[in-house]
Structure 1
Amino acid sequence: MRFFLGLLLLLSIAGCSGPDIRDYAAQQPALELSDYLNGDLEAWGMFQNRSGAVVKRFHVALTGTWQGDVGTLDERFTYSDGSTERRVWTLRRQADGSWRGTAADVLGEAVGEVSGNALHWRYQLLLKVDGEQYVVDFDDWMFLMDGRVMLNRARMSKWGVDLGEVTLSFHKPAK
């Protein structure tokens, strides 16, 4: 019995580890949020439940504007079922280079770090499902692929239990 408890503890600790943002420090092109998230962008994405089934698909029209180290990112979602949603982020670069973000449906602040081509965000979101509202945790990674494409993978959980994953592909128009 002790063996199985020890194994369970070891597996749960191993499950909490993940990549470190500094692992991407040398990766190019370097992500500068105020450059990439400036102007109009589009994204296409999907939510997969924990078994991998695609539950929801969506398109996002985004507009980013900046005043120094403070940006506004206006996201307009259109889901495959025809429903729509809007989220307006305020993004602030901190003195230490980290990022903080707020939005109406984000509890507290999103906390993020950029290193190389990667951004790692963590935040809690008020998620509406079938007329109910739930607080879920997001562990959100974005990777700049080139000057026009950024890929995003976010794990969604509640009380440490995996609920599913959001995958997005951002596209910036050619200049």
Structure 2
Amino acid sequence: MNGPGEATPFRLEAFYAGLLHGWGHLVDHRGGGERRMTAVLRGDWDGQVLTLDQTWTAEGSPPERRLWRIRPTTNGYSGTAADIVGTAEATWVDGGLRWSYQTDVPVGETVWRLACEEELQPQTANVATVQVKIGKFGLAIAEIHMIVSRAAPVAG
């Protein structure tokens, strides 16, 4: 699939190769309001597997990390990570990728299993928007909205 303004097909393994930065916000539908977020992503493509090391920080929370192993499939991509239940699947939708997965998140003394629907929409060869809808028991509990870019982080 082609992203807007791109002459060549969008390839996740090319987009995430190297160092990227993300900026955005987390909206907590449980009454927690809105918090700014930043992310640092490092990707390495070995010709078969994209290893994507994500570290993100929401304002007021410690950094979190996820190490993905992502492979191209006939219809998109599949990925695994330590906190992902089973395999995350991504399919092409409207020029971007829609990921579906479940993740286990520690909350106090328990672990919550959350359902995530993540949409990555390429804007240029170096910029994409990411929206993640997070739910539990079919109810929306949070959303993440980010811009991911190869550009150097802005100071301040």
The TM-score range, normalised by the shorter chain, is: 0.7 to 0.9
TM-score computed with the length of structure 2 as normaliser: 0.84
- Give the share of equivalent positions with the same residue, in percent: 26
Q: Does 1:92 align with 2:71?
A: yes
Tell me by how many angstroms 1:27 deviates.
4.9
Aligned pair count reads 149
**Cα RMSD after superposing both structures:** 2.2
Which residue of structure 2 lines up, in the alignment, with residue 63 of structure 1? 42
Q: Does 1:127 align with 2:114?
A: no
Indicate if the aligned counterparts of 1:42 and 1:171 stay in contact, CA closer than 8 A: yes
**Structure with the higher helix share, 1 or 2:** 1
Tell me by how many angstroms 1:55 deviates.
3.7
Tell me by how many angstroms 1:117 deviates.
3.4
Partner secondary structure for residue 10 of structure 2: coil
Structure 1 stretches lacking a partner, 5+ long: 1-24
Indicate if the aligned counterparts of 1:92 and 1:100 stay in contact, CA closer than 8 A: yes
Which residue of structure 2 lines up, in the alignment, with residue 79 of structure 1? 58
Greater C-alpha radius of gyration: 1
**Structure with the higher strand share, 1 or 2:** 2
Indicate if the aligned counterparts of 2:44 and 2:52 stay in contact, CA closer than 8 A: yes
Change (3 A) 1:63 1:172: same
Structure 2 stretches lacking a partner, 5+ long: none
The one-letter amino acid of 1:39's match is G
